Amino acid sequence: MIGLVALNGTGRLLADEIHAAWPGTTRVHTAVASACFGPPEALEYALGRDDLVVCLAPVATTVRLLIDGSHLRPGGPGLVSLDLNLRYAVPLTGRDSGADELAEELAGLLGVRAVLTSNPPPATDPPFAHLAGHASTSTRGPRGSAAVRALAEGRPVRLESDLAHPLPALPPSARPDAPADTPVLRVTDRTHPDEDVLLVHPRTLVVGVGAGGGATDSELMRLITDTLAEHGLARASVARLATVAGKADHPEVRWAAFCLGGVPVDEHPAAALAAVAVPNPSDRVGAAVGTASVAEAAALASAPGGELVATKRKSAAATVAIARAAVRGRLAVVGLGPGAHDLLVPRALAELRRASAVVGAPGAVEAVAELLRPGTRRIATDDGAGAAGAAVDAAVDLAAHGHAVALVALGDGAALNVPPGAYDVHRVPGLPLHPLAPALPAHPQGDPA
């Protein structure tokens, strides 16, 4: 049994959320400052009765409680400190206590970072730090951990993908043609709980929500957690919440956004939601708020071209539905200027580092080769007549299949004209290829001598 020690109201809400996700294996211990069961007593009580303990407080607070009265026994339960800002899960006991594994499970559930102090520093950051903001990673089983180590050491890992997504370049040793017996890295927005793999979760999901005035503490977040679990969807893949206008500041909606890592909340006018076709409209809801659907319609409105992957689910005073956004590629058209690295505009460098593939004439691709992330595909099209058109065609094809592409050319890049398509275009003009020489100062009329 895992004891969840809540020291205050915010901790209790987070403890309730974890308990909702792991109902059969957790129980909550709440400190009551005005009684004889304050924070030190609550932690001591859990340490004496549970196999593993999570203290919902910063490391410094947890350590101070241990000094104030609680104690850790040799061979006793594993203890993890989980900060309320959902940044870190820090094991405070040795690897044999199970605390490291619990911290990693909390990381998978909540999207926090597991700081494994009893082992050498994890190799997760070097291969994946650049994915922050685009995707999250989690491991499943020993082969998932083996995949992280293999990527850090440059050994082969088999790349599998449930869906296309315009992620930055993955480590170069992750390849679809890697041997079948190598560890697996899978790009997916699903949890795959029974598989022994390393998961990369792109942010593809939109959670539509509705919350009434009678919603109780953390009711909406529990419903979101249950709905994600029921459909095998990864919490880390939630990109945003969506609701009807006027509900973004509802306490339950704000708490859910916080628990999901501070995701943005989209608001849609009731009239706009009323125009969205949904499978489960409600006349009662329509009469109350002006649209027959809030959760399903809002999820679809914030995922243009997408589809519902979880239809409406209700609790006493909350509703949830989940949509997967349609995949759109990313095509950055980048002018490289004369070609010298110090003459690149800053945004051009950012786009080159953001891309998983760089396309252009041989000279342009070669000019930026040293600036690219390891694993970035370099595609040099034929030089000569029609070279610009060949580069555009190759870049558009990749972007249309959901990749993040940088189409590069020396000079300002103005000659690169791309057609519209299933991708978002970002233009980054460069300096002219041959900047004009500065004019010589004019002499006064007559002989300068």
C-alpha dist (Å) from residue 286 to 109, 210, 215, 271, 293:
35, 13, 19, 10, 7
d(CA 2, CA 25): 6
User: Which string of b and e fits 245-277 if b means at least 16 CB within 10 Å?
Assistant: bebbebebbebbbbbbbebebbbbebeebbebe
Kindly report which listed range (75-79, 106-110, 119-123, 148-152) carries the lowest average pLDDT score: 119-123
Look at residue 253 in the predicted model and tell me its pLDDT: 93
pTM for this prediction:
0.72
Beta bridge partners of 273: none
Look at residue 407 in the predicted model and tell me its pLDDT: 96
d(CA 163, CA 381): 27
- SS3 (DSSP) at 278: coil
Looking at the predicted structure, is the pLDDT value of residue 387 above 70? no
Query: What is the full DSSP assignment across 82-139?
Result: E-TTS-EEEE-S-GGGTHHHHHHHHHHHH-PEE--TTSSPPSSHHHHGGGTTTEEEEE
Please tell me what DSSP assigns to residue 399.
H
- More confidently predicted of 335 and 382: 335
Looking at the predicted structure, is the pLDDT value of residue 435 above 70? no
Looking at the predicted structure, is the pLDDT value of residue 266 above 80? yes
How many helices (H) and strands (E) the chain has is answered by 14, 21
Looking at the predicted structure, is the pLDDT value of residue 124 above 50? no
Mean pLDDT is highest, among 252-256, 275-279, 436-440, for 275-279
Look at residue 255 in the predicted model and tell me its pLDDT: 87
Look at residue 38 in the predicted model and tell me its pLDDT: 83
Look at residue 66 in the predicted model and tell me its pLDDT: 81
Look at residue 449 in the predicted model and tell me its pLDDT: 43
d(CA 407, CA 364): 9
> For 327, phi and psi rounded to 5 degrees?
-75, 125
Look at residue 127 in the predicted model and tell me its pLDDT: 65
Proportion of the chain above pLDDT 90, given as a percent? 51
Q: What is the mean pLDDT of residues 333-361?
A: 92
Band of the pLDDT at 89, cuts 50, 70, 90? very high
Look at residue 293 in the predicted model and tell me its pLDDT: 95
Kindly report which listed range (66-80, 208-222, 293-307, 322-336) carries the lowest average pLDDT score: 66-80
Look at residue 125 in the predicted model and tell me its pLDDT: 47
Band of the pLDDT at 448, cuts 50, 70, 90? very low
If you average pLDDT over every residue of the chain, what do you get?
86
Radius of gyration of the chain from its Cα atoms, rounded to whole angstroms: 27
Q: Is 446 left (phi over 0), alpha (psi -120 to 50) or beta?
A: left
Q: What is the mean pLDDT of residues 19-30?
A: 87
CB 74 within 8 A of CB 47: no
Q: What is the mean pLDDT of residues 266-277?
A: 96
Look at residue 398 in the predicted model and tell me its pLDDT: 95
Residue bearing tokens 């440059």? 154
Residue bearing tokens 């349609």? 326
- More confidently predicted of 217 and 16: 16
Looking at the predicted structure, is the pLDDT value of residue 121 above 50? no
CB 290 within 8 A of CB 258: no
Kindly report which listed range (112-121, 321-330, 426-435) carries the lowest average pLDDT score: 112-121
Among residues 395, 397, 251, the alpha carbon closest in space to that of 317 is found at 251
Band of the pLDDT at 191, cuts 50, 70, 90? confident
Look at residue 186 in the predicted model and tell me its pLDDT: 92
Q: What is the mean pLDDT of residues 361-370?
A: 94
Distance of CA 367 to the CA centre of its chain: 32
Distance of CA 144 to the CA centre of its chain: 18
Look at residue 261 in the predicted model and tell me its pLDDT: 79
Look at residue 291 in the predicted model and tell me its pLDDT: 94
State both tokens at 177: 């043609």
Band of the pLDDT at 193, cuts 50, 70, 90? confident
Looking at the predicted structure, is the pLDDT value of residue 10 above 80? yes
Looking at the predicted structure, is the pLDDT value of residue 157 above 70? yes
Band of the pLDDT at 179, cuts 50, 70, 90? very high
Nearest 10 degrees: Cα torsion 413, 416, 418, 424: -20
Looking at the predicted structure, is the pLDDT value of residue 246 above 80? yes
Looking at the predicted structure, is the pLDDT value of residue 358 above 70? yes
Residue type, 332: A
Band of the pLDDT at 68, cuts 50, 70, 90? low
C-alpha dist (Å) from residue 383 to 388, 407, 409, 430:
8, 15, 12, 20
d(CA 90, CA 48): 20
